[in-house]
């Protein structure tokens, strides 16, 4: 095999590798999610990290729909039951009556021991208010007494 054919094969292999999206000389880019500058390691790299790529996806309408679908599957209910809760509660939190919005969907509240779905709550009631009283039923009665003073 001649030197020129080996050199030609090496150049062809190098060109093929670059076309396939393997590492190319790095260039600076700006992440559309966090707006930080980063050096690309591939032709198609758009985000600086997988965390930024997932954050952008989760914020998209498709990501939100996928997240709700996965959550319903985890709890063993279907979309009709979820929509029934929305209708019964007039698209409002079951505790504070704050309306749910497209931007901030109501959380699906369930009993962690039995798995039974109780209804829909806003983020504040689900993560702050309910945990204060769920495991301590006496607290709710004392709170009512306190507020009646």
- Confidence band of 56 (pLDDT split at 50, 70, 90): confident
Determine, yes or no, domain membership for 121: yes
In contact, 38 and 28? CB cutoff 8 Å: yes
Is the CB of residue 147 less than 8 Å from the CB of residue 112? no
Residues 89 and 32 in one domain: no
Are 98 and 130 contained in the same domain? yes
Is 35's pLDDT higher than 80?
Answer: yes
Structural domain includes residue 5: no
Same domain, 37 and 99: no
pLDDT at 26: 59
Q: Single out the residue in 59, 83, 105 at which a domain terminates.
A: 59
Distance CA 71, CA 37 (A): 34
Regarding whether 65 and 55 lie in a shared domain, the answer is: no
pLDDT in the model for residue 25: 53
The CA angle 118-77-51, to the nearest 5 degrees, is 95
Asked whether residue 49 falls in the same domain as residue 92, the answer is no
Q: Which tens digit of pLDDT belongs to each residue from 82-130? A: 899 999 999 999 999 999 887 778 889 988 888 889 999 998 988 888 8
- Does residue 116 share a domain with residue 67? yes
Let me know whether 89 and 131 are in one domain. yes
One-character DSSP codes across 54-99: HHHHHHSHHHHHHHHHHHHHHHT--HHHHHHHHHHTTTB-TTT-PB
Q: Are residues 71 and 55 in the same domain?
A: no
The number of domains in the chain is: 2
Range of the structural domain that residue 131 is part of: 60-147
Q: Is residue 51 part of a domain?
A: yes
Q: What is the CATH number of the domain that holds 108?
A: 3.40.1800.10
* pLDDT in the model for residue 98: 92
C-alpha span between 144 and 142 (Å, rounded): 5
Q: Across all residues in the chain, what is the average pLDDT?
A: 79
């Amino acid at each position: 095999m001649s030197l020129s054919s080996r050199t030609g094969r090496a150049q062809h292999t190098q060109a093929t590798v670059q076309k396939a999206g393997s590492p190319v000389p790095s260039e600076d880019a700006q992440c559309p999610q966090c707006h930080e500058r980063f050096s690309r390691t591939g032709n198609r790299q758009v985000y600086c990290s997988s965390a930024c790529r997932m954050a952008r996806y989760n914020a998209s309408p498709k990501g939100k729909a996928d997240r709700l679908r996965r959550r319903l599957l985890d709890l063993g209910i279907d979309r009709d039951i979820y929509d029934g809760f929305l209708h019964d509660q007039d698209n409002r939190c079951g505790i504070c009556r704050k309306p749910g919005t497209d931007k901030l969907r109501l959380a699906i509240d369930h009993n962690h021991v039995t798995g039974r779905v109780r209804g829909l709550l806003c983020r504040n009631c689900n993560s702050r208010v309910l945990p204060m009283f769920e495991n301590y039923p006496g607290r709710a009665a004392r709170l009512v007494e306190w507020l009646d003073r």
